[in-house]
């Protein structure tokens, strides 16, 4: 049996499953289809292979209660990539999904920093600040 190891790298992206600030839900098959298209686009653009683990979750914040998806990315030992290229590819994939799934704001958590991508300053009207 072969064994491969590499320096650990992880990234986590949480994406809402409601279009914009509407009540229109994004069905899981649509989400997966858009993810697959984005993965292909990233492969073509950056030559980076991004396998994603999908978990369902919810974002709950001061009145907001939104079904969401958590994507987790790792440095896969079989297809090693430079960390800077992985980060760039994950950020680009997240931007693609934001546009396709009509998300205004998404957060990407890397081990050493957190990046918020935002299309505009609007806040979900269900949030009571």
The predicted pLDDT at position 54 comes to 97
**What distance in Å separates the CA atoms of residue 41 and residue 96, rounded to the nearest whole number?**
9
- Average of per-residue pLDDT values in the chain: 94
Residue 29: both structure tokens together: 């098959």
pLDDT band (50, 70, 90) for residue 77: confident
Residue 26 predicted with pLDDT over 90: yes
With tokens 């992985």, the residue in question is 86
∠ CA 106-90-36 to the nearest 5 degrees?
A: 95
> Which residues, listed in sequence order, are joined to residue 128 by a DSSP beta bridge?
none
Judged against a pLDDT cut of 90, whether residue 86 lies above it is answered with yes
Whether the pLDDT of residue 63 is over 90: the answer is no
Please give the share of the chain, as a percent, with pLDDT higher than 90.
79
pLDDT tens track for 99-124: 999 999 999 999 999 999 999 998 88
More confident residue, 127 or 32: 32
């Amino acid at each position: 049996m072969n064994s491969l190891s590499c320096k650990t790298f992880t990234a986590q992206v949480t994406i809402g499953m409601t279009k914009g600030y509407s009540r229109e839900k994004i069905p899981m098959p649509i989400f997966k289809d858009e993810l697959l298209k984005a993965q292909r686009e990233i492969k073509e653009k950056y030559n980076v292979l991004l396998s994603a683990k999908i978990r369902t979750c919810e974002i709950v914040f001061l009145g907001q209660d939104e079904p969401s998806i958590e994507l987790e990315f790792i440095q896969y030992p079989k297809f090693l990539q430079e960390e800077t290229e992985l980060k760039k590819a994950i950020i680009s994939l997240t931007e693609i999904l934001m546009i396709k799934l009509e998300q205004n704001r998404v957060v990407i958590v890397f081990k050493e920093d957190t990046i918020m991508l935002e299309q505009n300053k609007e806040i979900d009207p269900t949030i009571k600040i």
